[in-house]
Structure 1
Amino acid sequence: MSHSAQPLVIRFGRLGDTLLLQPMLRRLHARYVQPCHVLARGRYAAELYQGHPDVADMLVLDAHHQPFVLSPEQWHVVHQLRRMRDVPVYVAELQPTSLARIRFLLKMAGIPDRHCVFLEHIPLPPDSHWIEHLLQLADATPPAFHSAFGHVACMTSAVPELVVSPQERADCDQWLIHRQLAGHPLVLLQAANKRTVRWNGVRKASDDDKSWPIEHWTRVVAAINTQWPDARILLCGSPAEARYLETIRATMAQSGVEVVARDLPVPRLKALLAIAHSMISVDTGPAHMAATMGCPLVVMFGSGPLSYWAPRGASPDAVRVLGGPPRQRVDAIAPDEVIAAWRGLPLRAPPSSRVEAGLTSMALT
């Protein structure tokens, strides 16, 4: 058996889940010498890892599940997987419904169980981060590959890294000029999370432990305007959240606030986070992106355990985490706590003084 292989990693998570795979992809690249195939769900996954040195290619399924016989997309993925019947397979999934779908696809592709290792079989030590759990998976070896790779051990960073290409930077620069945002300090607010907007409207705040009251956001914006009168405050999110964010902006009735949710595909958001002054966010995927891109961050947690899900960046001082157990809801966090944490963030060097391209977050643990 060759002493190099191209591992396949499978994860059907959302944006933050997909980003947190990155240290695992780096570890597998080091172990097997070749970059990884990745099977993920949602177009954002391919956009997130476009041009990344640890990713050879992306197989992407639509986020909405269809019966197999009615889904040409799933047939295509199975056809692609059949070409990978002799590679090590790492299934980084714990959600039962997604696991069942993954097992079905692997069976249809004829990939033997001996070629696979599953995160559900990897014990997690107490108080470990999700990234450490994934790295433990990366250190395991499928039985069929144990003789060739079972002895291979690599120490790699536990901090995610993302690539911003020159094209993505140029696109972001042009967008900032078009929106008349260039030259202003940019503070990003991420008020919504994946559960905020449903098919039938905005979820009730009482049913969302990550919901922070609009009047709290208003006080934060007033504090930012006082400290940085020239700042532009950008309400970020997905296109589906734009109307909800417009409601927040209108309720605030403050200057310098813009909704940009319809203008932020993942590549542009990456580039924007690479130059923004700071971000204030509830616990959601873009907060993890901010930490990865070195954007000074205040992130508010509800019931999620901080030890498991706190965002990681190369500069720990640039990430301030508020809330979490024993507090169970984001709305238990006072605006003054957020304002004080934001004012305590380290100053970010202007874009002109930073390296223009390459990888971010290069620190090793």
Structure 2
Amino acid sequence: MSKPIRPLVIRFGRVGDMILLQPLLRRLHARYGQPCQLLGIGKHSLELYRKQPDVARVMSLLSHHRPFALSPEQWRVVRALRRMGDVPVYVSEPQAGSLARIRLLLKLADIPEDHCVFLNDVALPEAGHWIEHLLTLADTTPPAFRDRFEHVTSTSSHVPAFEITAQDRADCDQWLAARGLSDHPLVLMQPANKRTMRWNGVRKASDDDKSWPIDNWAKVVAAIHANLPDARILLCGSPAEAKYLEGIRTSMAQPNVEVVARELPLPRLRALLAVAHSMISVDTGPAHLAAAVGCPLVVMFGSVAPSHWTPRASTPEAVHVLGGPPRSRRVDTITPDEVIEAWHGLPPRTATTLQTSHVDASA
């Protein structure tokens, strides 16, 4: 049997991209016998994969666009890559600009080409989901390691899964109590996406295929209150979106709606989604996290194909998808009645799904 080895995975992706990476990390862990080393960007990579069983180490560049001469952190990464020795490298990055920077990092770290495999060398079937694309990469062996690992195969789940530590669960419970939310059904809403905010303010709705009118959100909130009078609606997003979400809350003129965008670091959001009643979201990263931890979900698609990007859950019927090609290319073609009907059709969370199937009680 081949000696266990820690593969290196590189992806300079946003939150959703990094969530979809989890089945690949699990597959590589199984193939090579050791949890992976992960190189990403931003704080979200650290928050998502710290204390996760398929990842032994997370390195993250806060910025990967700065010239090397002005970026000591990139040189620290280069030195760390050199110290890894001979490891298989899985470059899961499809974007040309980021891929060029990754190739430079690998070159400066003296990592040979035959130690690496690249996602762009793996064909994506026309109707295939992105996770299948990543798992095909995980099943590929870099040339330098074929004599030891080509024969090592593994079957594993195609659904992202994240453990919630006892510490994160306790932090979430404390936050809910302080907010007066502990005894209420919680319905999370994610109206914004990565395109919503620009440097000079909110992007025009006509230029954002995932923008859904405020009146539509208000109608959905009213329907939720009619069905769950004791529910609290939490408007989620990044801290940069908080002012925009506050504008939505004010315009709705609906009771029991709160903006929590400045209070949800990813570990807390993950723990919150694990106990929430449900989520309604445009196609964005937190929707994938909701599905991964079993939160019943309605997700609205704009111009990207649901066949590639539908959030995956261990219970497929817990994810209801609306819109997207070939039906439409804009979220605002979806009616409030469609969203309300989809939300009513979500399966209820059971005592089992709210227990510790995703919790690491020893943490």
Both structures adopt the same fold (TM-score exceeding 0.5): yes
Specify the alignment match of 1:162 in structure 2.
Answer: 162
Specify the alignment match of 1:349 in structure 2.
Answer: 350
Whether the 8 Å CA contact 1:195–1:203 is kept in 2: the answer is yes
Amino acid at match of 2:223: A
After the TM superposition, which residues 270-285 of structure 1 pair with which residues of structure 2 at under 5 Å, given as runs?
270-285=270-285
Report the CA distance between 1:85 and its aligned residue. Answer: 3.7
Amino acid at match of 1:116: C
Amino acid at match of 2:248: I
Amino acid at match of 1:158: H
Specify the alignment match of 1:258 in structure 2.
Answer: 258
After the TM superposition, which residues 151-300 of structure 1 pair with which residues of structure 2 at under 5 Å, given as runs?
151-300=151-300
Specify the alignment match of 1:333 in structure 2.
Answer: 334
| 2: CA distance, partners of 1:338 / 1:285 | 19
Amino acid at match of 1:38: L
| 1: CA distance, partners of 2:299 / 2:11 | 24
Q: Give CA deviations for 1:197-254 in whole Å, capped at 9, x if unaligned.
A: 1111000000000111111001001101111110000000000000000000000011
Report the CA distance between 1:351 and its aligned residue. Answer: 7.7
Report the CA distance between 1:123 and its aligned residue. Answer: 1.2
CA separation of 1:353 and 1:152: change in aligned 2, threshold 3 A: closer
Specify the alignment match of 1:363 in structure 2.
Answer: none
Q: Give CA deviations for 1:321-348 in whole Å, capped at 9, x if unaligned.
A: 0001120100000000000000110111
Which contiguous aligned blocks of 4+ residues in structure 1 show a shift greater than 4 angstroms?
A: 350-353
Amino acid at match of 1:84: M
Whether the 8 Å CA contact 2:185–2:231 is kept in 1: the answer is yes
Specify the alignment match of 2:136 in structure 1.
Answer: 136
Instruction: Determine helix, strand or coil for the equivalent of 2:329.
Output: coil
Report the CA distance between 1:124 and its aligned residue. Answer: 1.6
Identity of aligned residues (%): 66
Amino acid at match of 2:308: Y
Report the CA distance between 1:115 and its aligned residue. Answer: 0.3
Q: Give CA deviations for 1:146-169 in whole Å, capped at 9, x if unaligned.
A: 000011111111011101000000
Amino acid at match of 1:221: V
Q: Give CA deviations for 1:27-62 in whole Å, capped at 9, x if unaligned.
A: 000000000000001111111111111000001011
Aligned length: 359
Whether the 8 Å CA contact 1:3–1:149 is kept in 2: the answer is no
Specify the alignment match of 2:302 in structure 1.
Answer: 302
Whether the 8 Å CA contact 2:275–2:354 is kept in 1: the answer is no
| 2: CA distance, partners of 1:282 / 1:117 | 33
Whether the 8 Å CA contact 1:85–1:109 is kept in 2: the answer is no
CA separation of 1:12 and 1:192: change in aligned 2, threshold 3 A: same
Specify the alignment match of 1:362 in structure 2.
Answer: none
Instruction: Determine helix, strand or coil for the equivalent of 1:229.
Output: coil
Q: Give CA deviations for 1:123-180 in whole Å, capped at 9, x if unaligned.
A: 1222110000000000000000000001111111101110100000000000001111
Whether the 8 Å CA contact 2:64–2:101 is kept in 1: the answer is no
CA separation of 1:38 and 1:202: change in aligned 2, threshold 3 A: same
CA separation of 1:123 and 1:95: change in aligned 2, threshold 3 A: same
TM-score scaled by length of structure 1: 0.96
The worse-fitting range, judged by mean Cα deviation, of 349-358 and 242-251 is: 349-358
CA separation of 1:106 and 1:352: change in aligned 2, threshold 3 A: closer
| 2: CA distance, partners of 1:237 / 1:351 | 28
Instruction: Determine helix, strand or coil for the equivalent of 1:313.
Output: coil
- Indicate the RMSD between aligned Cα atoms, in angstroms: 1.3
Specify the alignment match of 1:149 in structure 2.
Answer: 149
Whether the 8 Å CA contact 2:166–2:359 is kept in 1: the answer is no
Amino acid at match of 2:214: I
Whether the 8 Å CA contact 1:85–1:110 is kept in 2: the answer is no
